[in-house]
């Protein structure tokens, strides 16, 4: 059974899912944030089959979430690095982690705490702000067609 593609859906969420919505993909990106750069590091950390890992890494490189750089070592060795596009996924991973800390584990049972290096302050929430920099109340939002909208949006 093949996965549904969202190529023809003019929706930001659908298009993001097409690029990073596979259940292994964001875990690979997470591990890249943790410092993994080598195929073997991802494989060991995730316990993922080589063929699946190869496919997901290729897709992440194709979508420019990771870059693939040949190493100056004997053999055919590469390193995978987050691109700017990949680093921008930290907000997605953080939102998912915070949601899980609240709704899956419970607030006092989080398996990972993320804190600022300089201050030690834990990151406990994300705040959406409007163009003016002021916090936005999600209950007061309205959804409008944007400049790239089509009749299928």
Query: What is the reported pTM?
Result: 0.84
- Residues of the chain predicted below pLDDT 70: 1-5, 152-153
DSSP state of 5: P
What is the predicted pLDDT for the residue at 131?
A: 95
What is the predicted pLDDT for the residue at 55?
A: 96
For the chain, which domains are there?
Answer: 12-87 (1.10.10.10), 90-139 (no CATH)
Q: How far apart are the first and last CA of the chain?
A: 26
Apex 8 CA angle, 5 and 9, nearest 5: 90
């Amino acid at each position: 059974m093949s996965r549904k593609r969202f190529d023809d859906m003019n929706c930001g969420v659908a298009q993001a899912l097409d690029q990073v919505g596979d259940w292994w993909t964001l875990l690979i990106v997470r591990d890249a944030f943790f410092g993994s750069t080598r195929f073997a590091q991802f494989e060991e950390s995730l316990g993922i089959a080589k063929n699946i890992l190869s496919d997901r890494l290729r897709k992440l490189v194709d979508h420019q979430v990771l870059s693939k750089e040949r190493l100056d070592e004997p053999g055919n060795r590469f390193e995978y690095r987050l691109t700017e596009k990949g680093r921008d996924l930290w907000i997605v991973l953080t939102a998912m982690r915070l949601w899980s800390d609240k709704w899956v584990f419970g607030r006092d049972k989080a398996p990972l705490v993320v804190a600022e290096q300089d201050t030690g302050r834990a990151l406990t929430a994300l705040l959406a702000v409007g163009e003016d920099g002021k916090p936005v109340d999600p209950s007061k939002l309205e959804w409008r067609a944007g400049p790239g909208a089509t009749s299928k949006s």
